[in-house]
């Protein structure tokens, strides 16, 4: 799991669930404070503002603050892999469409099939890691 595939870093932001928030608060940090908050947000795969909001709300309601979990990291990896698989699927569909229109496969078809197979194996590995952590 160590390395993330190119293009996945920063694409793991979560969309807000439930009701939309209509209020905002501006918070100022020193450079050192911002780096600490930013690093904590990054570990959780959250935007800095989302992390600051979650941490502030947790403090205000005396709830547990957001914290890193190996499962959070695994979920991010799985979300990244699923996105890559969708993009590969689009390419594979285009290569198959070319096969149907030309009557013979392009070189891309074999490569996309290999990439799809490798991607599925990677997702299987992540799923197995999650299974082991939950066991």
pTM: 0.50
For the chain, the average pLDDT equals 82
Predicted pLDDT of residue 37: 95
pLDDT digits (tens, 9 = 90+) for 72-130: 777 777 888 888 888 888 998 999 999 999 999 888 888 888 888 888 888 888 888 87
What is each CA distance from 85 to 60, 73, 80, 121, in whole angstroms?
A: 40, 18, 9, 11
pLDDT digits (tens, 9 = 90+) for 26-73: 999 999 999 999 999 988 878 999 899 999 999 999 998 888 777 777
H or E segment and range at residue 43: helix 31-44
Give mean pLDDT, residues 11-34. Answer: 78
Handedness of CA 60, 62, 66, 68 (dihedral sign): positive
Measured CA to CA, the distance from residue 135 to residue 133 in angstroms comes to 6
């Amino acid at each position: 799991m160590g390395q993330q595939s190119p293009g996945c870093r920063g694409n793991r932001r979560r969309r807000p669930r439930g009701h939309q928030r209509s209020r905002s608060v501006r918070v100022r940090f020193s450079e050192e404070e911002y780096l600490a908050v930013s690093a904590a947000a990054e570990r959780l795969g959250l935007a800095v503002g989302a992390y600051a909001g979650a941490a502030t709300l947790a403090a205000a309601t005396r709830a547990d603050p957001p914290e890193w979990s190996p499962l959070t990291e695994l979920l991010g990896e799985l979300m990244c892999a699923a996105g890559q698989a969708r993009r590969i699927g689009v390419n594979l569909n285009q290569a198959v469409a070319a096969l149907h229109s030309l009557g013979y496969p392009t070189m891309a078809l074999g490569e996309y099939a290999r990439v799809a197979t490798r991607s599925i194996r990677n997702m299987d590995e992540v799923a197995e890691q999650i299974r082991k952590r939950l066991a």
